[in-house]
Structure 1
């Protein structure tokens, strides 16, 4: 494994150590609400083919798992466990916090409609329900199948940035994003993608600008150029071009493509869904970053009104948890 980078210069210097402004709180909530909205929007189209550019996309539910309109899937449910820990002021660099996250995931997975194959394999029958045990299980999965680069850790990484908005916290965030990814996904690509996306979410909350390249200096040196090329490829492609979007690399590329070519939050999420296949996850990933850029206020009220999911939360509850995570 490549050595992790030493801390480079900060990528933005806008002060946020003071009390967060209303705009920052709106964008922080947007990282959570935008992701949940993308997740629920894509739920009814999951596993389907790409759609024409003019195809209507709606918050209709349905799909393979008979989702209710506005019901989020495993993407948001797993993110909620992280968000609740941050809202309680629990640090992600402490295995006691990660123990609680893993325990919550294991409890959720028992009756969940949909759990990703890799995540189910890692968490199924886990004993004890601890971070250390989860990492061992994730490594065993990787060693058995010689890969573990599914998109299941990237889909849930949006809230991680909320605890690291202060000045000079990029390095702490990069380490936290990778640590949370490693609980279920041992492959470097998965950890890299979570670092890139989490740092982009942080930057967007602080500045209102979506830029996935701000995270490149926080990757090991030998992996920066390959990721830069992947990002560039996404910018000249469409979400539908990434037909292996269950792989974390193409999931990130599809999401970034939707953001690059889209305009409003709604346009971005509809583009992500029209890309087909793992629609809820790509739209959830895109939603975290475009929501951090545009804020929760950019999510249509009609969508916010019907958003709901495990463990009995709605958009208002997610907004409250996001605000608490930022303030703590």
Structure 2
């Protein structure tokens, strides 16, 4: 890997492991209200300790990181399908279908860290129904749950598309990967806008520039509610909410509604404190802490790079080594393909 890609490597790893950190940190406090968290952790929970209502092992992935892994492995498989001798023709490769197949394995017990054939202990209703439909139909375009089911279950897993899909593919694949479980417009457009922000951050845009790019994408796709959520996130006083609680006219709710999570992640991205301090405050607000932590952690990691994520957190993550290895494999294959295309272009 050439040194010119060092920034991309750092921010790509930061984004993926930022999701994992936010998920594993937040799992301890999931479903707890701010009022209870502030009494137990006045300065916020600052260590990944496991436990929580579902008694998680320390650093273990919940559904947020598990389903991010499903999408990540789909991108690895796509890049490997381009290699000589691959049994899978790249022209026939469907990223959304590959991600859905991995998600189905997760749902049916073919997954690291879990006893064979056992179901996940944490799965959202929309995800569960979507995967049931997908198992029967084997068509990611027809399996999702439609209008009215606007949970954050596709936003939490979408970040590999922002990291590995270029150009127009990024929008189309963001939407398609959301649709196999969540095909409400608020979900699909939130994923597309979020991934444009991620890609901009990896390409060294400032946080504010990246947010503007996200708003343009939401506007292009015709979803005013996503635009409004991003704008509200720009004005949200994260530290104040974490210290004083989500009350009054502050539009933060702890539910799993996709636009609540998007709004909170934008506030986190634009808060220029350290990765640790911002993520601790996201989780300190309470409610859907693992998913809000994962979604915000992805943006913060893409902003700050892996070097700015606390090592004491990274060393506890269940999938750290795998995420690092798969990321480097994808980036190497993409770099090799780019060099080949340049050489062929010169020969022409």
For 1:64 and 1:102, locate their aligned partners in 2 and report how far apart those are by CA, in whole Å: 28
Deviation at 1:137, TM superposition (A): 2.9
In the alignment, what sits opposite 2:296?
286
Structure 1, residues 136-187: CA drift from partner, whole Å, max 9, x if none?
231xx32xxx5121000000011112223xxxx3322111111111111110
> Does the 8 A contact of 2:95 with 2:173 survive in 1?
no
Distance 1:55 1:290, change over 3 A: closer
* Higher CA-based Rg: 2
> Does the 8 A contact of 2:170 with 2:195 survive in 1?
yes
Distance 1:248 1:213, change over 3 A: same
| Count of paired positions | 295
Deviation at 1:252, TM superposition (A): 0.5
In the alignment, what sits opposite 1:219?
218
> Does the 8 A contact of 1:208 with 1:294 survive in 2?
no
Distance 1:321 1:232, change over 3 A: same
In the alignment, what sits opposite 1:199?
196
1:82 paired with 2:79, answer: no
In the alignment, what sits opposite 1:63?
52
In structure 1, the residue corresponding to 2:183 is in which secondary structure?
coil
In the alignment, what sits opposite 1:323?
328
Structure 1, residues 98-123: CA drift from partner, whole Å, max 9, x if none?
32321211121122121112101221
In the alignment, what sits opposite 1:31?
15
1:115 paired with 2:123, answer: yes
> Does the 8 A contact of 2:14 with 2:301 survive in 1?
yes
Distance 1:86 1:20, change over 3 A: farther
For 1:57 and 1:126, locate their aligned partners in 2 and report how far apart those are by CA, in whole Å: 39
Give the alignment's TM-score, normalised by structure 1. Answer: 0.82
Distance 1:154 1:41, change over 3 A: same
Deviation at 1:326, TM superposition (A): 2.6
In the alignment, what sits opposite 2:339?
none
Distance 1:40 1:56, change over 3 A: closer
> Which protein has greater RCO, CA pairs closer than 8 Å, 6+ apart?
1
In the alignment, what sits opposite 1:137?
143
